[in-house]
Structure 1
Amino acid sequence: MHIHDLITDSAALANLCARLADSPFVAVDTEFMRENSYWPELCLIQIADENEAAAIDPMAPGIDLKPLLDLLTTNEDVLKVFHAGGQDIEIVHNLTGKTPHPLFDTQIAAMALGQGEQIGYSNLVDAWLGVALDKGARFTDWSRRPLDKRQIDYAIADVTHLVKIFPRMLEKLKKTGRGEWLDQEMERIADPFNYENPPELAWQRIRIASRKPEVLGRLKALAAWREREAQTKNLPRGRIAKDETIADLAGNPPRQQADLARVRGLSASWAGNDIGRRMMEAIAAAAPMPASELPAREDRKPGLGKEGALVADLLKLLLKIRAKEINVAPRLLGRSDDLEALAAGQREGLSILEGWRCDQFGRDALDLVEGRLAFAVVNGKLKMTRTEGENA
């Protein structure tokens, strides 16, 4: 494989992308910094196919990233391979409003091959290639220039190894018949909605005990205000105000701006500055949350009382048993929310009752809930048995 020097000019990047456009797949990774910003700062992009690999400097003066972004988001003939690619995909979405497509995430694929729920990249490389990665550049400040050879080599290794792993992983998925299991998961992580941060929905990330419409209305208004402030200033949300401060203000709103000087977690200067004024305006404009937006009570899931909770626990046990039997990560097979909904009586719209999940787990889960399947201890081991009525 040919490893290019660091690409810092538009012509070299365009030529690289023209060649990669004829490849069946490319491996992609990014290096970025986001500790001090709302938007991740893209510092390096690594890409490779089976013939060549390169690191691209997006911070190089005048470089035009359009050929690369077009390759990632509009070329449907090239599969884009990531490992735990959520943040890489988010960066592409921030730049283009689109996500890479089609895509393949090796961390998710590893779940279907019994390698755990969140296998790290170094463990993946060790498991598939027997290579121990050099971790010496893990804590590099990727925004600083110049980057030295060791840093660039470290970054490029993230895609050169992935190029070797992907075909082997794909072959094993084909042999086990599990490739189609992943289609829905890959489409899910490629959904652009996952990478949007509409301020109006920011309140849903904040924990608060109250369900009073007026409190939740203020929470929604304050969270949206904070999100816009963070986006405008390009600062982490917590630098504007922490979640607990937002929740406290929603439940105990100050009467006037001067009261902000006594709010824990806010600077006393907010009592008289513009950001404090904007916060007070957000509180004043808040309307009670309509009933249609109120979050569901955890203890009011349909039919999930004490008995339902016990059934949900049995379903989780069945999930562990079945996942072990077929050697896949439990989280790929079924999620807790679906199990609780099934225990509560829901039958529609559950992923565990659709497609391959139904075949591998959901049908037995339904039988357990409806009394056609039971646990038994045979020779000291936990087994699943059909009830007499089912066998009759």
Structure 2
Amino acid sequence: MQIHPLITDTATLAALVERLARSPFVAVDTEFMRENTYWPELCLLQIASTEEAAAIDPLAEGLDLTPLWDLLVDNEEVLKVFHAGGQDLEIVYNMTGKTPHPLFDTQVAAMALGFGEQVGYSNLIESMLGHTLDKGARFTDWSRRPLDKRQIDYAIGDVTHLVTVFPRMVQKLKKNGRGVWLDEEMERLADPSSFAFAPEDAWRRLKLPSRNPAVLGRLKALAAWRESEARGKNLPRGRIIKDDTLSELAGHPPKSQDGLGQVRGLSPGWRTNDIGARLMQALAGSQPLGPDELPDREPRRPGLTKDAALVSDLLKLLLKIRAKEAGVAPKLIARSDELESLAAGVREGLAILSGWRFEEFGRDALDLVEGRLAFATENGKLKMTRALENAA
């Protein structure tokens, strides 16, 4: 495989992309920094086909990344391969408003191959290729220039190994017939709506200080205000104001801006500065949440009775058994909240009650909940028995 020098000019990038566009797939990885910013700062992007690999410097003066974005988000003929690509996809979405498509995530695929739910890249490479990766440069400040050869080689290694691993994973998926299981997961990962986050929804990520509609209305307004401030200044949310302080303000709002100086977590300057004035405006414009906006006491949980909670535990045991038999990670088949919903009586809108998940697990899960399937022991081993068979 040809390894190119660090790409810092548009002409070289465009030529590379033109060649990569003729490949059936490319492996992609990014290096970024986000400790001091709201938006992750893309510092390096690595890309490879089976024939060549390169690192691209997005911080290089005058470099136009348009050819690269065209390949990643608009070219439907080339499959984009990532490993645990959630943050990589977020970066591409932030810069283009789109996500790479079609895509393949090797961490998700590894769940269908029995590697567990969140196998790390190093462990995957070591398991499939027998290579122990050099981790010496993983704590690099990727925003500093110049990058030395060791750093660049380390970064490019992530995609060159991925190019080798991907076809092997595909062959294994074909052999065990699990490839089709992943189609839905890959489409879900590529859904741009997963990365479109409205400031008005920011409050839902916080620990709620109360269920009082007025308090939650203030929290909603304050969280949206903080989100806008953080985005505008490109600073982490906590640099604007901490979560605990936001909750304190929602529960006990000051009567005037002068009162901000008495709030723990805020400096005396908030009594007179512009950001303090904007905070007070957000509080003044808040409205109590309506009944339809109030969150459930236990979000996404249907409210399990004691009996239903026991049934949910049995479903989790059944899931472990079926996942072990299938040789896949349990998380690929079902999530805990789905099992709880099924135990509580929900029958509509559950992924485990349709498609391959129903065949592998959902049918037995439904039979267990509805009394047609039971656990038993024989010679000290756990087995499943069907009520209809026993009756016969």
Instruction: State the TM-score bracket (shorter-chain normalisation).
Output: over 0.9
Question: Which SS does the other structure have where 2:116 is aligned?
Answer: coil
Q: Counterpart of 1:354?
A: 354
TM-score of the two chains, using structure 1 as the length reference: 0.98
Q: Counterpart of 1:342?
A: 342
Question: Is the 8 Å Cα contact of residues 302 and 340 (structure 2) preserved in structure 1?
Answer: no
CA distance 1:125–1:103, shift in 2 (3 Å): same
Counterpart mapping for 1:108-147 below 5 A = 108-147=108-147
Cα shift at 1:303: 6.1
Question: Is the 8 Å Cα contact of residues 28 and 80 (structure 1) preserved in structure 2?
Answer: yes
CA distance 1:63–1:112, shift in 2 (3 Å): same
Cα shift at 1:149: 0.2
Q: Counterpart of 1:159?
A: 159
CA distance 1:18–1:264, shift in 2 (3 Å): same
Cα shift at 1:311: 1.0
Q: Counterpart of 1:295?
A: 295
Question: Is the 8 Å Cα contact of residues 372 and 389 (structure 1) preserved in structure 2?
Answer: no
Q: Counterpart of 1:40?
A: 40
TM-score of the two chains, using structure 2 as the length reference: 0.98
Q: Counterpart of 2:210?
A: 210
Q: Counterpart of 1:74?
A: 74
Cα shift at 1:307: 1.2
Cα shift at 1:304: 2.2
Amino acid in the other structure paired with 1:306: K
CA distance in 1, matches of 2:302, 2:116: 32
Question: Is the 8 Å Cα contact of residues 6 and 57 (structure 2) preserved in structure 1?
Answer: yes
Cα shift at 1:291: 1.3
Question: Is the 8 Å Cα contact of residues 81 and 103 (structure 1) preserved in structure 2?
Answer: yes
CA distance 1:39–1:291, shift in 2 (3 Å): same
Question: Is the 8 Å Cα contact of residues 90 and 195 (structure 1) preserved in structure 2?
Answer: yes
Question: Which SS does the other structure have where 2:68 is aligned?
Answer: helix
Q: Counterpart of 1:105?
A: 105
Alignment root-mean-square deviation, CA:
1.3
Cα shift at 1:212: 1.4
Residue deviations 1:231-263, cap 9 Å, x none? 000000111112222122111211111221121
Cα shift at 1:367: 0.4
CA distance in 2, matches of 1:268, 1:386: 70
CA distance in 2, matches of 1:299, 1:351: 18
Residues 285-294 or 80-89, more deviating: 285-294
CA distance in 2, matches of 1:149, 1:291: 59
Question: Which SS does the other structure have where 1:184 is aligned?
Answer: helix
Amino acid in the other structure paired with 1:111: M
Amino acid in the other structure paired with 1:64: D
Question: Is the 8 Å Cα contact of residues 33 and 41 (structure 1) preserved in structure 2?
Answer: yes
Question: Is the 8 Å Cα contact of residues 301 and 337 (structure 2) preserved in structure 1?
Answer: no
Question: Is the 8 Å Cα contact of residues 216 and 288 (structure 1) preserved in structure 2?
Answer: yes
Question: Which SS does the other structure have where 1:292 is aligned?
Answer: coil
Residue deviations 1:52-101, cap 9 Å, x none? 00000011110010000000000000000000000100110011000000
Question: Which SS does the other structure have where 2:54 is aligned?
Answer: strand
Question: Is the 8 Å Cα contact of residues 257 and 277 (structure 1) preserved in structure 2?
Answer: yes
Counterpart mapping for 1:6-25 below 5 A = 6-25=6-25
Residue deviations 1:355-380, cap 9 Å, x none? 11111111110000000011112221
CA distance 1:96–1:134, shift in 2 (3 Å): same
Matched, 1:189 2:189: yes
- Structure 1, unpaired ranges of 5+: none
CA distance 1:299–1:181, shift in 2 (3 Å): closer
Q: Counterpart of 1:57?
A: 57
CA distance in 1, matches of 2:298, 2:193: 25
Residue deviations 1:178-202, cap 9 Å, x none? 0010001001110111112210111
Matched, 1:317 2:329: no
Cα shift at 1:305: 1.3
Amino acid in the other structure paired with 2:334: G
Question: Is the 8 Å Cα contact of residues 209 and 247 (structure 2) preserved in structure 1?
Answer: no
Question: Which SS does the other structure have where 2:32 is aligned?
Answer: strand
Cα shift at 1:103: 0.2
Question: Is the 8 Å Cα contact of residues 300 and 337 (structure 2) preserved in structure 1?
Answer: no
Residues 317-326 or 353-362, more deviating: 317-326
Question: Which SS does the other structure have where 1:298 is aligned?
Answer: coil
Amino acid in the other structure paired with 1:313: D
Residue deviations 1:295-327, cap 9 Å, x none? 122299556211111111111111111111111
CA distance 1:299–1:187, shift in 2 (3 Å): closer
Q: Counterpart of 1:268?
A: 268
Amino acid in the other structure paired with 1:35: E
Residue deviations 1:18-65, cap 9 Å, x none? 000010000000000000000011100000000000000011110010
Question: Is the 8 Å Cα contact of residues 82 and 103 (structure 2) preserved in structure 1?
Answer: yes
CA distance 1:202–1:390, shift in 2 (3 Å): farther
Alignment size in residue pairs: 392
- Structure 2, unpaired ranges of 5+: none
